[in-house]
Structure 1
């Protein structure tokens, strides 16, 4: 890892969800508040908080599958497969195989958010643009968010988040 700012998730104090149903660690936020990246621990079944007027992108980065019911429609969110939904949706989570940690991007309508999970080889270096951050899922810096511009280097798995203001 080099360049950019690095935030270790374990160094960020957990905060309760707005609905009190779990905790999250805010890792990064836009200066204008138009988006945020956080890491949530989901240990038990229950509803997600509502975020009217915003959209969400969730990626399971630790643990098994996460079952969600989004506006009455069942969804299975597999590890390392990003899942997008409206912040206004009524979402109920179930952790049938045990707790999970999920990387979340919550953004307003003026921001397009993307997440791509990549495997890096031991000699790899992944450059990050100013509108990108990479959460290290496995590797030397596991549990850290590297905020661009900068790079992530070395063997491991990363979830690269890109936030594009419209």
Structure 2
């Protein structure tokens, strides 16, 4: 088990030129975890019949404007919405990086949970990735610092003082 720097993954530019996405993990047609670097305001891509969970991991946050409301995406706070929902992303305080989970709820259940403070986070067989948002952590003999990830963690994670970890879990529908 080695820490992964998602910024070292190849960037895929968006068609609208507003940013890039770095694919981290997934199963095509079922789910994917990615890191999006949003540098310009504009429409989100639609993901029909999918669910999205967006978590700001760098920057002051963003606003997701829909026809009926404005959803506020804040640092470290997972925000869930339908991939069918037309959204215009606004950046009132500049560019952001978002950890994204997109999944087909007909095939899998998806979750993104934040864990904070000095504590031990047990291993979860459904966890597919862990992103350390801030602070430091240890998993077995591996040290993590903010911005690093682990994939398919099998051992407990010890969070340091002021650490925040984002755990992404996927489980099959029965």
- Over 3 Å counting, the alpha-carbon distance change for 1:150 and 1:71 in structure 2 is farther
Contact in 2 for aligned 1:146/1:152 (Cα 8 Å): no
Select the residue among 13, 22, 27 that pairs with 1:16: 13
Which residue number in structure 2 is paired with residue 86 of structure 1?
82
TM (normalized to structure 1)?
0.86
Larger RCO, structure (CA 8 Å, separation 6 or more): 1
Contact in 2 for aligned 1:136/1:143 (Cα 8 Å): yes
Which residue number in structure 2 is paired with residue 161 of structure 1?
168
Contact in 2 for aligned 1:18/1:49 (Cα 8 Å): no
Residue segments in structure 2 that go unaligned for 5+ positions in a row: 137-144
The CA distance in 2 between the partners of 1:154 and 1:81, in whole Å, is: 18
Q: In terms of mean alpha carbon deviation, does 94-103 or 66-75 score higher?
A: 66-75
Judging by fraction of residues, say which structure has more strand. 1
Q: In terms of mean alpha carbon deviation, does 110-119 or 10-19 score higher?
A: 10-19
Select the residue among 125, 147, 155 that pairs with 1:150: 155
- Over 3 Å counting, the alpha-carbon distance change for 1:111 and 1:19 in structure 2 is farther
Q: Give the drift of 1:23.
A: 0.7
Q: Give the drift of 1:102.
A: 0.8
> What is the root-mean-square deviation of aligned Cα atoms in Å?
1.9
Select the residue among 87, 100, 104 that pairs with 2:100: 104
Q: Give the drift of 1:20.
A: 4.4
Residue segments in structure 1 that go unaligned for 5+ positions in a row: none
